[in-house]
A and B are shown apart, each in its own frame.
Chain A
């Protein structure tokens, strides 16, 4: 006897993500899911990004996803912003941040005092792309030393994201990386993906990226900020 079911296997995860999304909307928080390979420079870029956003008067928080350790959240401490370390296990666990981890972290954050919330996902170009966390923006950070082939090798990541930040561009003179080829590979997988070039070390491109973020928050339909007096 056959019984038809037809259920999204990730239904519970998606439902929790939608609840996270509602909570962001309730508080006017623009949530950004930052994803990349390990070592692409997410944390360093976050420090520069948040420093710039703070100078513009925005209030930021971070959910720091790591399979283990508090190294990244300790690096964010000088920013004096709310940071929740979301480890999946003391000795290494999940390959991605799940919507349940975000939901738990939201209980520990002062939501009424935030304009931006950054979710620094676990370094991995595969699994994090699969899961909706309730965020408004998925960003993939691709560092120049990783080479030109990553978009072709990890297509889901580059399809799911709404922005690609090519990081560590200060290293380009020392690398055999052809930016035309890299751009071409990104465009083959997702020709509608905007690309911004940044260097957290020199600060190149950070202002443009923060302008992009500020505009994305202001025009995000789910937050309905354009008609309010809020920034």
Chain B
């Protein structure tokens, strides 16, 4: 539902991270990590990214999404567990006192540029 906003944020951050003299059209891919606990539809995010990238200049960019597992640490017994469903109960001691260590948050991790990505001032005229 707010995937359009997220795609816009990803493109804005990517633009800010471009090296000097590098055009957004030279970006081959962007790698984003999305926590499984986040209310994000990956298909919708992909769709919204593709729908917005041309206007933002990232014509050839692909969005790669890493879906991050929900990992919790139990504050009672210290057990660290990976959840495969949203049942937040320690598998070791059945305590509900779990701290979410990962699987929450949306992070732009990496940008991959094409081979001929660094252009000089003269080629900017295009």
Please report A residues at the B interface, Cβ cutoff 8 Å.
1-13, 94-96, 124, 126-127, 129-130, 152, 154-156, 159, 187-192
Q: Are A9 and B9 in contact (CB under 8 A)?
A: yes
Chain B residues contacting A152 (CB-CB under 8 Å) are 86
Q: Are B106 and A8 in contact (CB under 8 A)?
A: yes
Using a CB-CB cutoff of 8 Å, which residues 89-112 of chain B contact chain A? 89, 95-97, 100, 105-112
**With A5-B13, A130-B2, A188-B89 in contact, do A156 and B38 touch (Cβ < 8 Å)?**
yes
- Please measure, in the bound complex, the distance between the C-alpha atom of A188 and the C-alpha atom of B45, giving whole angstroms: 29
Q: Are A2 and B108 in contact (CB under 8 A)?
A: no
Q: Are B39 and A130 in contact (CB under 8 A)?
A: yes
Using a CB-CB cutoff of 8 Å, which residues 69-126 of chain B contact chain A? 86-89, 95-97, 100, 105-113, 117
**With A1-B112, A130-B39 in contact, do A96 and B2 touch (Cβ < 8 Å)?**
yes
Please report B residues at the A interface, Cβ cutoff 8 Å.
1-2, 5-6, 9-10, 13-14, 17, 19, 32, 37-40, 86-89, 95-97, 100, 105-113, 117
Q: Are A1 and B2 in contact (CB under 8 A)?
A: no
The chain B residue with its CB closest to the CB of A152 is B86
Minimum C-beta distance from A120 to chain B (A): 18
Chain A residues contacting B5 (CB-CB under 8 Å) are 94
The chain B residue with its CB closest to the CB of A9 is B106
The 8 A-B pairs at the shortest CB distance, nearest first, are namely A191-B96, A155-B86, A95-B1, A9-B106, A126-B39, A3-B111, A1-B113, A9-B9
Query: Which of A6, A9, A191 has the largest number of chain B CB atoms within 10 A?
Result: A9
The chain A residue with its CB closest to the CB of B113 is A1
Known A2-B110, A156-B39, A159-B37; 13 more pairs at CB < 8 Å? A3-B17, A3-B112, A5-B13, A6-B109, A94-B2, A127-B39, A130-B39, A130-B40, A156-B37, A188-B88, A189-B88, A190-B88, A192-B96
- Please measure, in the bound complex, the distance between the C-alpha atom of A219 and the C-alpha atom of B105, giving whole angstroms: 28
Among candidates B19, B86, B97, residue contacting A3 with C-beta atoms closer than 8 Å: B19
Q: Are A127 and B86 in contact (CB under 8 A)?
A: no
Q: Are A7 and B107 in contact (CB under 8 A)?
A: yes
Minimum C-beta distance from A98 to chain B (A): 8
